[in-house]
Structure 1
């Protein structure tokens, strides 16, 4: 299968398009105001929104569902999320409040980006398709679901061997949005952060060479190398 990975956004908030001959799978959906950026990026790659076959969410928090309802409501794109986060993605449940250390400059940067990209105009998803741990979705790139409860009950890793990448959502951050610190660490805003390290051990033997967190730079290396660098 010919496949390429397209990063849309930046190290604060990004979505990723897995582009194949059979269409596109979008991993996470950025912020609500990111639709123009998505359209530009797909156009540069010779594709359009009509090529998107599905959106797959690492979890249901508002900074990951951004353009999902627009894609679903106006373009008929199905949105997939773990059954334990379905209510959160539909706006029926709230995510955990932030806790722990923070630095004013980093918080202001995150808020500025969120405001500029429409992140406060949250559009909950009207209807979702649910999956479970171990499912392989019938979408371009055949994304495989690996449960990572901790950040939220339905947090998952999404394994896409076609692009040699593993998407870990907010279970891991490589740059904390609240402190600005560059380090491999448990993501902030977590429901049960103490649960996350054990969940992450499920990834240790996977061979993919690119680990993609929900926030922060991509990690070039295996999951084992990522976990060995984890600061707890």
Structure 2
């Protein structure tokens, strides 16, 4: 699905990944779940671009529902997979730490688990090789994605700012649809390692001139960074 010129989404409000489509190639932001590989190929066919136009993958963090088909593309295409340095081991299969209990509602949680199972959650191959990213930098990939470290959800979580499509991808530093409760709107994401640090990291987004703030779960946000953070803080205070 095209969100705007050069910005495409695969997946849905439960789990999603995104394509930055440029004349010199394509950058993939996150890789969802393995079953989304078919959705990726369908979207590429729809826009008339071969899978070999993908030049690299940028992960917002190393959790399993974001590395989905990354290893498949890495080995088939010989492309790099970038991830925040502190999440490199996680993306390569290291078990993340236990997180505090999150609120749950039975039906939304079961819906997420069933959807994830259908899309291959139980057979996600870890990355065999990654390129760790330290600090803030611009990657040599289509769209010139800029990495902004945003620890909290995980130690190596990053935002991916792509000025050319006026978007910033924030992974699970927040969500606009909680997969465990079904609640919609900007709010803290479940399965977060350090919620206080995650919340503080959101202020690093202030000042970005973007039309889109795009989480890994939930609908993209189009109301601007400041209004998103205000909505998040209101949800956080409840």
TM range (shorter): over 0.9
Match of 1:126 among 128, 138, 162: 128
User: What secondary structure, in the 3-state scheme, does the structure 1 residue paired with 2:57 have?
Assistant: strand
**Contact 1:88–1:95 (8 Å) recurs in 2:** no
Shift of 1:94: 2.2
Provide the C-alpha distance between the structure 2 equivalents of 1:202 and 1:157, rounded to a whole number of angstroms: 9
1:147 equivalent in structure 2? 149
Provide the C-alpha distance between the structure 1 equivalents of 2:100 and 2:38, rounded to a whole number of angstroms: 29
Provide the C-alpha distance between the structure 2 equivalents of 1:48 and 1:95, rounded to a whole number of angstroms: 38
Structure 1 pair 41–211 and aligned structure 2 pair: CA distance change class (3 A): same
2:41 equivalent in structure 1? 39
Structure 1 pair 95–113 and aligned structure 2 pair: CA distance change class (3 A): farther
User: What secondary structure, in the 3-state scheme, does the structure 2 residue paired with 1:146 have?
Assistant: strand
1:185 equivalent in structure 2? 187
1:173 equivalent in structure 2? 175
4+ runs of 1 displaced by more than 4 Å? Answer: none
**Contact 1:144–1:159 (8 Å) recurs in 2:** yes
Shift of 1:34: 1.5
Shift of 1:92: 2.1
1:20 equivalent in structure 2? 22
2:214 equivalent in structure 1? 212
Provide the C-alpha distance between the structure 1 equivalents of 2:208 and 2:89, rounded to a whole number of angstroms: 30
Provide the C-alpha distance between the structure 2 equivalents of 1:92 and 1:172, rounded to a whole number of angstroms: 23
1:102 equivalent in structure 2? 104
Which of 21-30 and 34-43 deviates more?
34-43
Which whole-Å deviations, capped at 9, do the CAs of 1:24-64 have from their partners, x for residues lacking one? Answer: 00000010121111111111011121000000000000000
Provide the C-alpha distance between the structure 1 equivalents of 2:135 and 2:169, rounded to a whole number of angstroms: 14
Shift of 1:216: 0.6
1:48 equivalent in structure 2? 50
User: What secondary structure, in the 3-state scheme, does the structure 1 residue paired with 2:227 have?
Assistant: helix
Which of 74-83 and 52-61 deviates more?
74-83
Shift of 1:103: 0.3
Number of residue pairs aligned between Structure 1 and Structure 2: 231
User: What secondary structure, in the 3-state scheme, does the structure 1 residue paired with 2:115 have?
Assistant: helix
Structure 1 gaps of 5+ residues are none
Cα RMSD of the aligned pairs, angstroms, is 1.3
Which whole-Å deviations, capped at 9, do the CAs of 1:85-123 have from their partners, x for residues lacking one? Answer: 000000023254462210000111101110111111111
Structure 1 pair 98–180 and aligned structure 2 pair: CA distance change class (3 A): farther
| Larger helix percent | 2
Provide the C-alpha distance between the structure 1 equivalents of 2:185 and 2:63, rounded to a whole number of angstroms: 22
Structure 1 pair 57–96 and aligned structure 2 pair: CA distance change class (3 A): farther
